[in-house]
Structure 1
Amino acid sequence: MSASYIPKNVYAVCTFQTDGVPRKFVDTRSEISVFYSKGSRTLLTIDDKNIDKEFPCKSPKNAMWSFLAFGAGLIVGALLVLSGPVGWAVIALGVGMMAYGAYHATQISHKCSGSLGKGNWKIEHQTVRFNKKNAITQNSMLICDAGGILSPIFSQSVAEKYTERIDALNNKEIWTNGIASFFGGAGAVLAFGEAAGAWGITKVALWMGGTMAVVTAGSYAEKEIIRSTALDNNEHYQNMNNVDQNELLPGYVKDPTGSTPGDLGSPDVLELDGKTGWFAKDPEGKLIVFFNGKQYVKDIKGNYTELKQGSQLANDLKKIENIDPREMYKNPDAQQIVKDIRQGKYSDNLVKSSIDGNQVVRPRDLNKVLPDIGTIKLQNIKNLGKLTVKGGGLIAFVFPFVATWFSEQARMELANAMAEDMNNGINVVSG
C-alpha cells in the first residue's frame, strides 16, 4: 500500500512506554540534505534512531518492582521459617535485592537513547534513499534493543489514544510481575526452609527448574496462539510478528544481566516432608499432589481460631495475674476460666501448661499459662503467614501468563494505531 515518508517530529508510540504521552522522532544521521516543506523538516531514514525525550521504559520499571517485591518476599519468608545466621543471611540478601531494585528506578527514564541507537528499523523502503540511507515510511517499525517496538504516528489524537492504552497495559503487566515475584521470593524461602536434608533441597531445586520450564514453554505457546489468531486483517500486526518473532529461548538465557525475579516459576506449591518421595501426605495419610486444598482451609481455620482463643484467654488471665496461686480457687474469675478450659473452650495447645500430672486443670496452675500464650499466638501468626504465601503462590503461578497477555495486547494496540493512522501523513508518499 502507499505510505507516507516520515519527516522529523512525527509522533512516536512505543510498546514499552509507561506513560500516556507520545514522543517525537528526530534526526540523528550525520549527513542531512533531504527535507520536507522547504527545509523545515528532515525526511528520516534508517539511520535516524532517536526521539526528542526519553520514554519511561517498561523494562527497567519491571525490573525495579520485580526486585523490590522479590527482596520483600525473601525477608517475609525468612521471618516466617528461618532464624539465626541463616535467617539473617536471607534477610540481608532480600535487602540487597531491594537495593538493586532501587537502582533500576534510576534507569526508568534513561533507557531510550542507547537502546534505540542499538536498535534497527524494519519494513523500511527498499529502493528510495535519502543521503544514501533507506527511507522509512508509515509502515516502518523501530525495534529497540530494550525489547520495545516504536512506530511513527502522524495524528496527535491517534497517538495519544493508543499511548494511554499501552501505558495502562504495561503498568498492569508490571504489577502482575511484581506480585508473582513477591510470592516467588517468599515461596522459595519456605520451600527450601521446610525441605529436609540434601535430597529435600535437591527436590525443591528441581521443582523450581521444572516450573520455570513450564512457564517458559507455556508463555511461548500463549504468544503463538495470540499472534496466529488476532488481527487477521491488520497488515501491520502481521509485519510486526514477522520482524519481532516469538522465541522459545527466554531472554534471560541470552542476556542473564536482563533477567528479573519474574522469570522464576513459583516453587511454593510443592508440599515436602522429607519422608514420602516427591510428595507429602496429609494427616489422614492421603497423598498430597502439589497442594491439598481441604487441608489448607482446615489449617487456616485452626490457626485463626487458636489465635482468637489465645487473645481471649490472655484477657481473662490478666484479671487474675496478681492473685496468690494458693487463693486462686476462691476467685470467681479463676473458677470460670477453669470451667471454660475443662469444657474445651480453648485448644489443648494453649492450656497445656495448666494441666498437672494427673491431666487435671487446677486453679493454682493458671498463672503458668500466660507466659506461653504470646509464643503460641506468634506461631499462629507465622503459620497463617506461611499458608497465605502457599495459597498466594498457587494463584500467582498463573501470573506470568497474565503478564504475557498484557504484553501481547500492547503490541496489538500499536498495530491498531498504525492502521488507524494510515489516512494521515504528508503528500510525499512511497509507491
Structure 2
Amino acid sequence: MSASYIPKNVYAVCTFQTDGTPRKFVDTRSEISVFYSKGSRTLLTVDDKNIDKEFPCKSPKNAMWSFLAFGAGLLLGAALLALGPVGWLIVGVVAATSIGLGVYHATQISHKCSGSLEKGNWKIEHPTVRFNKKNAITQNSMLICDAGGILSPIFSQSVAEKYAKKIDSLNNKEIWANGIASFFGGAGAVLAFGEAVGVWGVTKVALWMGGTMGAVTVGSYGEKELIRSTALSDNQHYQNMNDVDNNELLPGYLTDPAGSTPGDLGSPDILEVDGKTGWFAKDPEGKLIVFFNGKQYVKNIKGNYTELKQGSQLANDLKKIENVNPREMYKNPDAQQIVKDIRQGKYSDNLVKSSIDGNQVVRPRDLNKVLPDIRTVKLQNVKNLGELTVKGGGLIAFAFPFVATWFSEQARMELANAMAEDMNNGIAVVSG
C-alpha cells in the first residue's frame, strides 16, 4: 500500500510515553538537501532519530515507583515483625538502597529519550528510496527506542492527541500495578525471611522467590504471545510491529540488570514456613498445604479482629471504674458487671490473664491490672492484622505483573490503531 514520506515536524506517539501530549520528529542527520514544500521541511530518513521535546518515559518512571514501593514494603515488614537492632540494620540498608535507586530513576524520567532514540533503529523503512544516501521513512515506519518503546509518525494532530492520551493512561496504570506488586514483594520478603526457621526455612523462601520470578517471566511471555497472536488480525501495522519488536523469554533482570525492578518478585510470605515438615507445611488441623492456607488465614483475621474489638470494649468499660479505690471495687456495680462478663467468657483469656488470681478466679480488686494486658494485646492484634493483610495482599499481587503486561500490550495496540487511522493523512509525496 502507498504511504506518505515523513517530513520534519510530523507528530510522534510513543508506546512508553507517560503524558498525553504527542511530540514532533526532527532531523538529526549531518547532510540535509532533500526537502518538502519549497525547502521548508526536511524529508526524514533512518538517520533522523530524535524528537523536538523528550517524552516522560515509562521505563524510569516504572523503576522509580517500583523501587520506592519495594523500600516502603521492606520497612513495613520490619515494623510488623518488630525486628531487633541487627534485623533493622539489614532491612534499613536494603530499603535505603531501594529508595535511593527510586530517587535516581526519578531524575531520569525526562532525560531518557535523546540518548535512547539515537541508539534505536527505524524499522519498515522504504527499501529503495534514499534521501542523502539514507533510506527514507514512511507512514509505515516505526522507530524502536533503545529504552524499549516504539515511536510512530502520525500526521493528524487530533489522531495523535487521542492515542497519546490513551497510551498515557495505560502506561500509568501499568506503573501502579508494578508498584503494588513491588510493595507486597518487599513486605512479604521481610516477613518470610523473618519467620523462617533454620537454614532450610530460609532456603525454602529463597527457592520460592526464585521460582516465583521464573513463573512470572514464563507466564508474561505466554500472555504476550497469546495477545499478539490473536489481537488486531486485520491491522497490518500491528503485525509489522510484532515482527520488528520480538517477544523475549529472557527476563529483564538477566538481559538488562541495571534496568530491572522488583515488580516480578511476588510476595513470598504466602509460603507457609514452619521449619518442621520439609517443603510441605501443615495447618493446625494437620492437613498438608503447599502455600497460603486460606481457611486458617480467614480464621486468624476473624480472631484478631474480634479480640481487637473486645479489647476496645473492655478498655471502655474499665474507664467507668478508673477512679474507684481497689478496696471498694467489690461494691461498685460497674466493676461487678465487668467481673461477671469476664467470668462468662465475653473477653479472650489474653485480655484478662493478669486479673486472674492463683485460684483461676477474677476478683474485682484485680481489675486495675488488666489495662497493661489490653494495650499489649491490642498492639499485637494490630501487628497480626498487618501481617495477614500483607499476606492476603501478596496473594492478590501475584496477578499484578500479568495485569501490568496486559496494559503494556494494550499500549502497543493503541499505537497500531493510531497508525491505521492516520493512513488517509499525509503529504502528496508518497511511496509506491
Report the TM-score range of the alignment, normalised by the length of the smaller protein: over 0.9
CA distance in 2, matches of 1:218, 1:232: 23
Matches within 5 A, 1:20-419: 20-85=20-85, 86-419=87-420
The residue matched to 1:369 in structure 2 has which SS? helix
Counterpart residue identity of residue 80, structure 2: L
Q: Deviations over 1:64-115 (max 9, x none)?
A: 1111111110011000114222124313432332232122122111110011
- C-alpha contact (below 8 Å) 2:125/2:140 kept by paired residues: yes
Structure 1 range deviating more: 159-168 or 356-365: 356-365
Kept in 2: contact 1:72–1:95 (CA 8 A): no
> Does the 8 Å CA contact 2:185/2:267 hold for their aligned counterparts?
yes
User: 1:36 is matched by which residue type in structure 2?
Assistant: Y
Letter of the structure 1 residue corresponding to residue 46 of structure 2: I
Tell me the distance in 2 between the aligned counterparts of 1:48 and 1:384.
57
- Quickly say closer, same or farther: Cα 1:305–1:88, change in 2 above 3 A: farther
Deviations 1:206-262 (A, max 9, x none): 000001110000000000011111111111111111110001001220110000111
Counterpart secondary structure, 2:187 = helix
- The 2-side partners of 1:285 and 1:318 are apart by 43
TM-score using structure 2 length? 0.98
Number of equivalenced pairs: 431
Q: Structure 1 counterpart of 2:344, which letter?
A: Q
CA-CA distance at 1:279 after TM superposition: 2.8
- What SS does the corresponding residue of 1:9 show, helix, strand or coil? coil
CA distance in 1, matches of 2:288, 2:318: 42
**SS class of match (2:270):** coil
The CA distance in 2 between the partners of 1:347 and 1:91, in whole Å, is: 36
> Comparing 130-139 with 365-374, which one deviates more in the overlay?
365-374
- Residue 282 of structure 2: SS of its match in structure 1? coil
Q: List gaps (5 residues or longer) in structure 1.
A: none
1:391-425 Cα shifts (integer Å, max 9, x gaps): 00000101111110100010011111111111111
Q: Letter of the aligned partner of 1:372 in structure 2? A: D
Residues 114 and 248 of structure 1: CA distance in aligned 2, closer, same or farther (over 3 Å): same
Question: Does structure 2 retain, via aligned residues, the 8 Å contact 1:7–1:42?
Answer: yes
Aligned partners of 1:160, 1:217: CA distance in 2, in Å? Answer: 35
* TM-score, L = length of structure 1: 0.98
1-side partners of 2:138 and 2:266: how far apart? 41
What percent of counterpart residues are identical? 87
Which moved further from structure 2: 79-88 or 407-416?
79-88
State how far apart, in whole Å, the 2-side matches of 1:320 and 1:91 are.
Answer: 44
Q: Residue 262 of structure 1 contacts residue 400 of structure 1 at CA under 8 Å; is this kept in 2?
A: yes
Q: By how many angstroms is 1:123 displaced?
A: 0.7
Q: Distance in 2 between matches of 1:386 and 1:257?
A: 31
Distance 1:286 1:251 in 2: 38
Q: Which amino acid aligns with 1:395?
A: I
CA distance in 2, matches of 1:286, 1:131: 74
Q: The residue matched to 1:99 in structure 2 has which SS?
A: helix
**1:125 is matched by which residue type in structure 2?**
H
Cα offsets for 1:27-61 (capped at 9, x unmatched): 00111111001100000011100000010110011
Other structure's SS at 2:316 match: helix
In the aligned structure 1, how far is the partner of 2:210 from the partner of 2:230?
Answer: 30
Taking the aligned partners of 1:373 and 1:82, their CA distance within structure 2 comes to: 19
Given that 1:270 and 1:279 are in contact with CA atoms closer than 8 Å, whether structure 2 keeps it comes out as: no
CA distance in 1, matches of 2:321, 2:89: 39
Which range moved further: 226-235 or 312-321?
A: 312-321
Gaps (5+ residues) in structure 2?
none
1:373 CA drift (Å): 1.2
The 8 Å contact of residues 82 and 193 in structure 1, kept in 2 or not, is answered as no
Letter in 2 for 1:44: L
CA–CA distance in structure 2, aligned partners of residues 183 and 251 of structure 1 = 20
Counterparts of 1:84 and 1:394 in 2: how far apart (Å)? 27
Q: Which moved further from structure 2: 70-79 or 82-91? A: 82-91
- After TM superposition, give the deviation of residue 318 of structure 1 in Å: 2.7
Structure 1 distance, partners of 2:372, 2:323, is: 14
CA distance in 2, matches of 1:339, 1:268: 41
